[in-house]
Chains A and B, each alone.
Chain A
Amino acid sequence: MPLEALSISTAGAFGSELMPPAESLLSLGLYVAMAVGLIAFLLIACRLIGQKTHSKFKDQPYESGIDPTGPAQPGRPVPFYLVAIFFIVFDVEVVFISTWAVAYDLLGWSGFLQILFFIVILFLGLVYLWAEGALDWSPSRQRHSATKEGR
């Protein structure tokens, strides 16, 4: 039974229970291959079937019938960059909290206090962002805070 042999060879003394059995990994691999194959088939099929005509006006991006002006890929608005950075900060937090969550009863109250400390610090970070107006999206408030600081 080669499958069993595979699972034995991957299972070392340390971390043997962390590795999923080879059979379920094979299953996942097959599933990925089937899903990707199916979508690739659809993507290629729709490129081959169907007519293609070109004209100067048809190839323009649709902008409600008005001639496009300027490129459509200018500098990205800053608030979206901010969201991306906040996301990284807080998403790492989620990962850390999850690692505590699977073993919370082994860590007991001391573990709880440690994660509480961690969460409180990040929560203060959120409060700071809130107070700075980094989470405000309505233009009137952004303008208000800009004039207040004399920018």
Chain B
Amino acid sequence: MNDLLLTGLLMLIKLGMILAVLLTMAAYLVLAERKLLARMQRRYGPNRVGFGGMLQPLADLIKLLTKEDFLPAQADKWLFLLAPGLAAVTALLAFAVVPFAPPLELFGRQLPMVVCDLNVGILYFFGLSSLAVYGVALGGWASNSKYALLGALRAMGQMLSYELAMGLSIVPVILMARSFSLTEIVQAQASLPFALTNPLAFGIFFIAALAESKRTPFDLPEAENELVAGFHTEYSGMRFGLFFVGEYLNLVVLGAIITSLFLGGWHGPLLPPIIWFLGKVLAVAFVFIWIRGTLPRLRYDQLMAFGWKALLPLALVNLLATGGILLWLGGAS
């Protein structure tokens, strides 16, 4: 009984810490993005709340919670109210299969440093990233506003198209690791990260992840100079905040997935594994922000053409080539 209690307690502490770290990271990524973009545009960015603006996320949270929760006339009430939650929950849940450190020895038992090491981890991640489309699509559709509807339609088309390229660019990783489990994929990269052994797959996945998170240069669903704010035009207060936080949670999760699939996960010399993992995730997030500060937005036909005519065939050829080379090297009959 005592044993069971201890196991449960350790699990609860672990899960609580994961959630807290995820949400804090998402909140501070908002600040980091504002600061970095400001620096890239030779401005200061937020620097009033707390030391150098360090308490800005907290102030934002309080402000968003106390703002009016606006419900437009003729909106589909329940869908409108629940859609932001769906967007944030799918991003949070997707992190469940990402291992962030090797198992920890504690009180004579092994504590795996992952929420749940599913043997179909990659498929789980894909399922959730497909569900993430619903949050955006339903939110935009239920608002009963033309801007929101246009943004939602664009988001659906874009996210579905790039999910294909994303799925196909992971197949080489599955080939090389021979597993769907992210823990085993990370362990297969102990000596060399897959980004070096298969840079093409890494490139395709990175671009698709950029499109999947609806960030510049693929931010057409919320192109502010034509669609006001796209799918979340009608949202206010914490519901807007949940869409917003969901987007940054998604950024953290995609960074974590890219780290686990291509950058060797927690592996690295000298420093403890968890530091390597966090460092890699933040580095990926930094590159995402940097790209936003550098590139202009694509046109919608360019976006779709790039996804279907460039990334998809390239990913198919890449996976066939990887499979062929691996079979040849392995000397299969």
Interface on A for B, CB 8 Å cutoff? 1-3, 18, 20, 23-28, 30-32, 34-36, 38-40, 42-43, 45-47, 49-53, 59-64, 68, 71-73, 76-77, 79-80, 83-84, 86-87, 90-91, 94-95, 97-98, 101-105, 108-109, 112, 115-116, 119, 123, 126, 129-130, 135-138
Residues in A with CB closer than 8 Å to B164 are: 87, 90-91, 94
B25 nearest CB across to chain A (Å): 15
Residues in B with CB closer than 8 Å to A123 are: 313, 316
A19 nearest CB across to chain B (Å): 9
B153 nearest CB across to chain A (Å): 5
The 8 A CB mask of B154-198 against A (1 = contact, 0 = none) is 001100110110011011001100111000000000000000000
Q: Are B332 and A42 within 8 A (Cβ)? A: no
A140 nearest CB across to chain B (Å): 10
Q: Are B304 and A135 within 8 A (Cβ)? A: yes
How many angstroms between the C-alpha atoms of A83 and B305 in the bound complex? 12
Residues in A with CB closer than 8 Å to B300 are: 137
Of the residues A24, A86, A112, A130, contact of B112 by C-beta under 8 Å: A24
A69 nearest CB across to chain B (Å): 9
A37 nearest CB across to chain B (Å): 10
Interface size on B, residues (CB 8 A): 88
**19 residue pairs A–B, Cβ–Cβ below 8 Å:** A20-B117, A20-B118, A26-B11, A32-B96, A34-B19, A35-B19, A35-B93, A39-B92, A42-B241, A46-B237, A50-B69, A52-B68, A53-B68, A60-B73, A63-B145, A83-B304, A104-B178, A136-B305, A137-B305
Q: Which 4 A-B pairs have the closest CB atoms?
A: A46-B238, A137-B301, A61-B145, A28-B116
Residues in A with CB closer than 8 Å to B115 are: 27-28, 31
Residues in A with CB closer than 8 Å to B320 are: 116, 119
B45 nearest CB across to chain A (Å): 26
Q: Given A43-B85, A60-B72, A62-B233, are A72 and B157 neighbors across the interface (CB < 8 Å)?
A: no
A28 nearest CB across to chain B (Å): 4
Summarize B's interface: helix, strand, loop or mixed: helix
Q: Given A1-B3, A91-B164, A97-B319, are A63 and B147 neighbors across the interface (CB < 8 Å)?
A: yes
A144 nearest CB across to chain B (Å): 13
Q: Given A20-B117, A31-B18, A73-B144, are A101 and B171 neighbors across the interface (CB < 8 Å)?
A: yes
Residues in B with CB closer than 8 Å to A39 are: 85, 88-89, 92, 242
Q: Are A62 and B228 within 8 A (Cβ)? A: yes
Best-surrounded residue of A26, A45, A77, A135 (most CB of chain B within 10 A): A135
Residues in A with CB closer than 8 Å to B81 are: 43, 47
Q: Are A27 and B333 within 8 A (Cβ)? A: no
Residues in B with CB closer than 8 Å to A25 are: 116
B271 nearest CB across to chain A (Å): 27
Residues in A with CB closer than 8 Å to B316 are: 119, 123
B289 in contact (CB, < 8 A): no
Q: Are A3 and B312 within 8 A (Cβ)? A: no
Q: Given A61-B144, A136-B301, are A104 and B89 neighbors across the interface (CB < 8 Å)?
A: no
How many angstroms between the C-alpha atoms of A108 and B326 in the bound complex? 10
How many angstroms between the C-alpha atoms of A53 and B239 in the bound complex? 17
How many angstroms between the C-alpha atoms of A39 and B88 in the bound complex? 7
How many angstroms between the C-alpha atoms of A3 and B301 in the bound complex? 54
How many angstroms between the C-alpha atoms of A13 and B308 in the bound complex? 44
Q: Are A97 and B85 within 8 A (Cβ)? A: no
Residues in B with CB closer than 8 Å to A49 are: 65-66
A126 nearest CB across to chain B (Å): 7
B43 in contact (CB, < 8 A): no
How many angstroms between the C-alpha atoms of A27 and B225 in the bound complex? 44
B206 in contact (CB, < 8 A): no
The 8 A CB mask of B211-252 against A (1 = contact, 0 = none) is 000000000000000001000011001110110000000000
How many angstroms between the C-alpha atoms of A119 and B69 in the bound complex? 49
Residues in A with CB closer than 8 Å to B84 are: 43
Q: Are A104 and B327 within 8 A (Cβ)? A: yes
Residues in B with CB closer than 8 Å to A115 are: 323
How many angstroms between the C-alpha atoms of A28 and B16 in the bound complex? 12
Of the residues B11, B175, B238, contact of A45 by C-beta under 8 Å: B238
In the complex, which residues 128-151 of chain B have their Cβ closer than 8 Å to any Cβ of chain A?
Answer: 141, 143-149
Residues in A with CB closer than 8 Å to B89 are: 35-36, 39
Q: Are A87 and B161 within 8 A (Cβ)? A: yes
B47 in contact (CB, < 8 A): no
